[in-house]
Amino acid sequence: MSVSIPNASVLNRIVLVGLDVSIWSARKKLHRDELDASVKLPPEEMFSLGSKNVIDLAHLSVFETLKRRALRAIEGPGVRLMGAVGVPDTIHLEVVVELQNIQAEFNAAKQDFLNNLDRYHEEWIEKSKADPAWQAVLRASATPKAYVEKALSFDFSMCRLIPDQSAPSTTEGLERQINGLAGQLYAEVAAEACKIMEFMLQKDSVTQKTVNRLKGMHGKLCSMAFVDSEVQELADYLDERLKALPQTGKLEGRDFKDMVSLVSSLCDEDRIVGLVKAMATQAPEAVVDEFAGLNEADAEEELVDLAAAPAVPEAVEVVVAQEAQDVVTQPLALDEAESFIEQEAEAAEVDIAVVPPVEPQAPIPEISVPVPGLESDLVVDDGDIDFCL
């Protein structure tokens, strides 16, 4: 039986990237017998004791930072697909170089961490010297270095997709995924625009670093324009609006309000759909005039509405009780917390490295769909190791 390949022209231009990063939690389950016997606790079925930190968690921040950099390296030019990230085959070698650099930094940081693990543990115990009982609990909670070494790892993989053509039903799911790529791009653009808008709350100016985030969004749309002609229409609109903004210095006054107007026009998927439909029938300049949106009063109203919106929740930790000795915590509002961290880095004028072109490397291996190991794009907690695809 001959089965047609869904959207072969699109599929052949995508390379899937899977990111596998594990970070030791440095936490262990707190047991009832480790508490003072005088402490009255409710029945176990009603509560979880939680966990205890075995070292200062600040020592693990370097690994979280590197994981975020790796995610930006693939999500910046790519789009979520099948639980991984699809990047254009025109730039995947550049992505490889960036991930290899991050991997080298991760491994160097890991070795330094392991070399100092015993000292970190002793320093943490010393902090509780006022309570000898807690010192004993922490000393007994020391984790073997060999375990921690396995719990810290960074790896990635790349592949191309070849649909299974044995029956029409085997390609239906893949076809839906490929046909939905434009919508997925719009969703990611809207999500990034909302983060930028949140960053501009209670500000009256922004630097070129904020403008560069929009330029990065424009680059993403241009690189993925092959998935649908409408994607290029949106890229053209964004390009026209960006050209009208100052290319140097801060954006203040009218320029800042124009920036608010631009970001606002991208904060909602329905607005984006309206933009691309207009771009399909009108010249970019005409669409800009139509959608340039906010005049001075409207821009001020937009910022007032945003300022009145609920604040982005801070990341708080919820302890997940398990039968194993170790417990993992998952942060609530993770997207918002990472957004805040990235925005603070941007405010500090952190430079973003540009990856140079590289010579072609060995061909990417081809595999059949479905792809094992790419079933989920969620962070999975296993013991005290965080896995991220």
Residue 313 lies in a domain: no
Other residues' Cβ atoms within 10 Å of the Cβ of residue 271: 16
For residues 186 and 298, membership in a common domain is answered with yes
**Chosen domain end from 274, 308, 342:** 308
CB 328 within 8 A of CB 379: no
User: Is 173 part of a structural domain of the chain?
Assistant: no
Domain membership flag for residue 315:
no
Any idea what DSSP says for residue 324? S
279 located within any domain: yes
- For residue 61, tell me if it sits in a domain: yes
Residue with tokens 């010393």: 126
Phi, psi of 329 (to 5 degrees): -105, 140
Which is nearest to 336 in space by CA: 185, 184, 218, 191? Answer: 191
Last residue of a domain, one of 259, 287, 308: 308
Query: What SS3 state is found at 132?
Result: helix
Domain membership of residue 271 (yes or no) is yes
Other CB atoms within 10 Å distance of the CB of residue 137: 20
Alpha carbons 185 and 188: distance in angstroms, whole number: 5
Whether 122 and 267 map to the same domain: the answer is: no
Which residue matches tokens 């009145």?
Answer: 308
Name the H helices within 34-91: 61-75
The whole-angstrom separation of Cα 198 and Cα 203 is: 10
Do 301 and 246 reside in the same domain of the chain? yes
| pLDDT, one tens digit for every residue, the chain (389 residues) | 445 555 778 888 999 999 999 999 998 877 665 665 555 555 555 555 677 888 999 999 999 999 999 999 999 999 999 889 999 999 999 999 999 999 999 999 999 999 999 999 999 988 877 677 777 888 888 899 999 999 999 999 999 988 877 777 777 888 888 888 989 999 999 999 999 998 888 788 999 999 999 999 999 999 999 988 889 888 988 998 999 999 999 999 999 988 998 898 898 888 888 888 877 776 656 566 555 554 344 445 555 555 555 544 443 333 333 333 333 333 334 444 444 444 444 444 433 333 344 444 455 554 444 433 433 333 333 334 343 43
Task: Output the pLDDT for position 95.
Answer: 95
Paired residues of 388 in beta bridges:
21, 379
Distance (Å, rounded) from C-alpha 238 to C-alpha 261? 12
Does any domain span residue 175? no
Domain range enclosing 208: 180-308
Beta strands in 34-174 (DSSP E): 51-53, 79-81, 84-88, 153-162
What single-letter DSSP state applies at residue 24? B
Give me the pLDDT at residue 313, please: 43
245 and 372 inside one domain:
no
Q: How many CB atoms lie within 10 A of CB 126?
A: 10
If asked whether residues 342 and 375 sit together in one domain, one would say yes
**CA 342, CA 198: separation in Å to the nearest integer?**
12
Specify the number of domains making up the chain: 2
pLDDT of residue 73: 95
Shared-domain flag, residues 343 and 257: no
Distance CA 210, CA 85 (A): 24
- Are 97 and 200 in a shared domain? no
Other residues' Cβ atoms within 10 Å of the Cβ of residue 220: 23
135/200 same-domain check: no
Residues 101 and 238 grouped into a single domain: no
pLDDT value, residue 292: 57
DSSP secondary structure code for residue 58 in this structure: G
Overall pTM surpassing 0.75 (yes/no): no
CB contact at 8 A, 100 and 157: no
Both 269 and 336 in a single domain?
A: no
Intra-chain end-to-end CA distance of the chain, in Å:
35
Burial of 176 (0-12, 13-18, 19+ CB in 10 A): exposed
Residues 219 and 132 in one domain: no
| 284 Ramachandran zone, left/alpha/beta (phi>0; psi -120 to 50) | alpha
Q: Is 341 inside any structural domain?
A: yes
Q: Are residues 112 and 185 in the same domain?
A: no
Question: Residues in the chain, how many?
Answer: 389
Q: Are 99 and 91 in contact (CB under 8 A)?
A: no
Tell me how far apart the alpha carbons of residues 342 and 174 are, in angstroms, rounded to a whole number: 33
- What sign has the CA pseudo-torsion 65, 341, 72, 372? positive
The secondary structure element, H or E, covering residue 77 is none
Question: At which of 308, 332, 355 does a domain end?
Answer: 308
Q: What is the pLDDT of residue 273?
A: 85
